[in-house]
Amino acid sequence: MGSNALSYSETFKDHLANPRNVGELADANAVAEETNPVCGDRLRLSLRIRNGRIEAARFLAYGCPPTLACGSALAEMIEGMCIEDAVKLTRREIVKAVGGLSTRKQHAAALAIEVLRTGIENWRHGSMA
């Protein structure tokens, strides 16, 4: 069996088939977009933050299935979360949320964390990426 034979979890497949929170937020007050320089995958995150809490999160993903699944898991996880907790999220928690990823695909979870942190930074500094 080659390294491509890794079967994705049911959770992962569900995020692909029914991605959560896809799209843009019309009333977003924080937006970030990050690109993985290695594979060219892009992840865009729109957030509506009020009173230190993420009220709404939407994502757009361009790239491999793991990037889409991680974007979906991230957007779902952070809705309702306070900013302090959101900035503490780790790549490992994203990987767990999609039911696991091979080492070669961990970059998708790293991209999700990066775009979240950039979005929160943009919100703190009042800039809309």
Element (H, E) at 93: helix 91-97
Rounded Cα distance, 120 and 38, in Å: 24
* pLDDT surpasses 80 at 3: no
What separation in angstroms does the CA of 26 have from each of 19, 40, 45, 53, 96?
19, 26, 12, 18, 30
CATH architecture for segment(s) 10-123? Alpha-Beta Complex (3.90)
What average pLDDT does the structure give for the chain? Answer: 91
Q: What is the pLDDT of residue 8?
A: 85
> What's the gap between Cα 52 and its chain centre?
19
Residues 29-85 pLDDT 10s? 999 999 988 889 999 999 999 999 999 999 999 999 999 999 999 999 999 999 999
Residue 75: closest CA among 126, 24, 34, 27? 24
Q: What is the pLDDT of residue 87?
A: 96
Q: Where are the domains of the chain?
A: 10-123
